Amino acid sequence: MKVNSIDILAFGAHPDDVELGCGGTILSQISLGQKVGVIDLTEGELGTRGNQILRKNEATNASKALGLEFRENLGLSDGFFEINKANILEVIKRIRHYKPKIVLCNAKHDRHPDHGRGAKLIYDAFFLAGLEKISTFFNGNSQAPYRPKLLYNYLQFNDQNPDFIVDISKFIDKKMEIVKLYASQFYDPLSKETETLISKKNFLEIVKSRSADLGRFINVDYAEGFCVNKYIGVNDLNHLL
């Protein structure tokens, strides 16, 4: 699908990272008319439950429910991908091609090592994409340098103080419905696969409760938190809740 200049490009180390970490924010921004795309770094092939084909189908269904412009998977090695030149260049190509204004990515420090490593990979590519002496080609075309305006890290498993919080109260129910589309990963009393931390019965309740806990800080029902890589500037104090 040909997409030119989107508003937000969200990266996840694994399918379902984006939905869990910032699915409500994405739904909110799309409702405002913004264009959003997602790129998963791996297929989550090392996951204890499910398999690559099943997870691909789940990601496709979640993408439709979110209303994304596109979704790609870079096919990097789950659990073992490296922050090296080849992988950085693959991310640079996507940033230069889609030209997002904002990039969202994994938490810098988290329980799963892929999350922090994915965040660093995206941060490096985010900066280097703006350097004119780095030459890239995508779909046979030479690319011009391009650096998005902003990079934000969404919160994941570890407790972390966010730098800002987004009200997702109107979208929490739809977010949870979309997260449940990754049925292979979550609670299923009929499953014979090994139980994991996220497949426990109360995990999705914890996800929703955490959103409620974040929401109380800005006096809303549900929210998602983000961390920044540079100071936030505003030109209107009324934009602050």
> 223 pLDDT exceeds 70?
yes
**Residue range 126-136, pLDDT digits in tens:** 999 999 999 99
CA–CA dist 190, 15 (Å, integer): 23
* Token representation of residue 170: 């109107």
For the chain, the C-alpha Rg in angstroms (whole number) is 17
CA–CA dist 119, 213 (Å, integer): 24
Q: Measured at the alpha carbon of residue 213, what is the angle toward residues 107 and 240, in degrees to the nearest 5?
A: 80
Nearest to 89, CA basis, from 16, 160, 143: 143
**Residue range 45-89, pLDDT digits in tens:** 999 999 999 999 999 999 999 999 999 999 999 999 999 999 999
**Residue range 29-47, pLDDT digits in tens:** 999 999 999 999 999 999 9
CA–CA dist 114, 116 (Å, integer): 6
pTM (two decimals): 0.95
C-alpha torsion sign, points 89, 145, 115, 11: negative
- DSSP strands (E only) in the chain: 8-12, 36-42, 70-76, 102-105, 137-138, 141-142, 150-154, 164-167, 223-228
Burial 186-217 (b: 16+ CB within 10 A, else e): bbeeeeeeeeeebbeeeebeebeebbeebbee
Nearest to 88, CA basis, from 140, 153, 134: 134
Q: Residue 139: CA atoms inside 13 Å, Cβ hemisphere, count?
A: 7
DSSP for 88-146, please give it.
HHHHHHHHHHH--SEEEE--SS-SSHHHHHHHHHHHHHHHHTT-TTS--EETTEE----
* Token representation of residue 200: 């426990």
Average pLDDT over residues 198-214: 96
> Is 1 buried (19+), middle (13-18) or exposed (0-12) by CB count in 10 A?
exposed
Where is average pLDDT lowest: 57-66, 96-105, 173-182, 185-194?
A: 185-194
> 1 pLDDT exceeds 80?
no
Protein fold of 8-230: Rossmann fold (3.40.50)
